Structure 1
Amino acid sequence: MYALIDCNNFYASCERVFRPALRTKPVIILSNNDGCAIARSQEAKDLGIKMGTPFYQMETLIKEHEVSVFSSNYTLYADMSARVMNNIARFTPDVEVYSIDECFIKLNGMNDLETYAGKIRETVIRNTGIPISIGIAPSKTLAKIANKLAKKGSGIFILDTPERITEALQTFPLKDVWGIGAQYHKKLLNQGIEFAEQLRQMPMEWVRTNMTIQGVRMWDELWGRARIPFGAYPERKKGICCSRSFGKLSGDLSEISEAACSYASRVAEKLRNDKSCATLISVRLITNQYRTDLPQYFEGITIPLNHPSSNTPEIVKAAIKALKLIYKPGYKFLKVEILVTGIIPENEVQLNLFSTFDGTRQNQVSELMDKLNKHYGSGTLRLATEGYKKAWAMRREHLSPSYTTRWNDILKVI
């Protein structure tokens, strides 16, 4: 049996852990630069606040209903996610983290699944303060469905018999089935298929013809036959990108260079975390297409690295070189984008007899940065070219403290 464990309204729940008075109040989390709503508590959803609604369109509603607003605090959310996953790992060695707020686990050999799931749920809530829902079923797709049903009830839902599965699928909307995208949903609706059970009752050959082999796999999963492997090693990324809109439009090359260096450093860190190296780096400069009163400029360039690399100094140096080749004065830029491609495993880097690249020393510098930043906090040690004041940094006017990752922000009990 598989279980999908999902944190309820995760970003909002993270903020509520440290502000208990908000547990019954509407809460929304804003995107980068405080642009639009990307997470909402149930109370905020009940007010009619939609995902992606621009902040300026909600201001009257926010004041009228005293909605608590927070800027995205990804450092806090990542740390709280790790705490949740560590607590779950106490109950089973088979944990597959699917996203920041959900994971699959195996529950083989368990006799009383409901009691065991209850212990997991109680422990996570007690130790982290994050509410979770648990769906249990013989396949991952059915576990996803069970999890959605758990959110509507007691927090635990089990599909362990053919009768329970059939009953649940008869009224479960097809659009909410894992793997059904907008195009498939539209196509199947035209065929008169609205609920998951209707799709399950279609002949396998019909599914294969109309939905390819991926549809057959999903069809098997709906019948409780596990076809999605557990803990499969993820395919190596084909590219790693870092790009955020500036807090204000900027045409200053020094400010844009600082942003490019900061993003390149983050990309290099991600490469090392994946034990990969890149061979190409791309840089793009983008103006605000909605500012029709300003001249527009969209330009990018891709250059090869001297050597497959994941170290910060080399990637930052290449990013600045590429940036200077495409920068033009007289424009107000909204963002700079750093993308590395041509990614290979770090243990497959081919040495070059004619290269003067001093990779060993620069790799040691990067590894030291990683160790210090992991111990003292992200950004503690960085290259000088990243700047200090960061006038280009995105707006985060409603940012909460880093309660779990910064000494000065730890709550004090008096």
Structure 2
Amino acid sequence: MTLVAGAGMHPWGKWGRPFVEYGVAAAREALRDAGLHWTDVQFLVGADTIRNGYPGFVSGSAFAQALGWTGARIASCYAACASGAHALEIARTRILAGLCDVALVIGADSTPKGFFKPVGGDRPDDPDWLRFRLLGATNPAYFALYARRRMALYGSTIEDFAAVKVKNARAGSLNPNARYRKTVSAQEVLNSPMVADPLRLMDICATSDGGAALVLVSESFARRRGLSGVRIAAVSTVTPAFPNTVLEMPNFATDSSAGTAPPERPFRSSIAHAAYEEAGVEPGDLSLAEVYDLSTALELDWYEDIGLCAPGEAEKLVRAGETSLGGRIPVNPSGGLASFGEAIPAQAIAQVCELIWQLRGTAGDRQVEGALVGLAVNQGLFGHGSAIIATR
């Protein structure tokens, strides 16, 4: 069993400082939270940032150097928006294999102004570069395609999308680590500038600076040191199955000879359900969920993907207040990306931080009463995804 003994964050914002600074601050907070020291850490995993030069590509080393060389083993990994979850899985696996007792997972980012663009110059063999050049599919345009799809399939309205922002802004107003801490009205959302029809500025998450960290320990170490922790019950990092019928970025390298039977579930749904199977829980067991709300419309899709309701029923949950703080199954009680923005290597780790605080009962004014089981899910480009289940 792997336990999270400590969680820490550097507040999100646009601070304009090196990403390592945010990661080290989050790591030190997580270590203090666990009652441990950096010299207790045997293994450090850094979630990489690809927009911050060479140190960002070897973030494990960059963080270890900043904290002070101790001889600890390190790893660095990149998995787009799921980087932090993949980093956590590397650390968790090493503990479960009996190769270490204490692991530190860190993700941090310092982001440019505006939406994320491909890195590395002109790369005609890079699908991320090609989607910009051939399709004009910036991230906001991509989010808008999902929103239009939802409107066409289920009759979703812009008022439904605005209601998601209102809900998340209220939760974010109670979170000291959130970048945006003001409540908003539906009319404010609907009056904000159009970005990619039907999505307006307040429907789309920003790009942000920030950092998050977790201290993972083995059950035996926790027992020896008298530490308490929240259990990581499952981590899913499954890839899509071919043929993939979910709206996706163009993939120019799919080998159909490796085809499998048509998937039972769409990709995002399969990510979550693989975690349910590993943890031995069902959607109805969840006390809360942190989902990847790149846009307000996408949050609604996630409700259905993780099994909170049938396809086309997500709007009913929002209208009834069931996914709000105080509702039956609060979603994004942290405030979500709507309140934080994207700091890519940190965001999956930040989701787990929220699960830890909620399951401990230390989330303050946004506390979900009696929280026992939490799910955090996200999806990165080109088959990267993650679902993490934590239990008390």
- TM-score normalised over the length of structure 1: 0.24
Q: Max radius of gyration: which structure?
A: 1
- TM-score normalised over the length of structure 2: 0.25
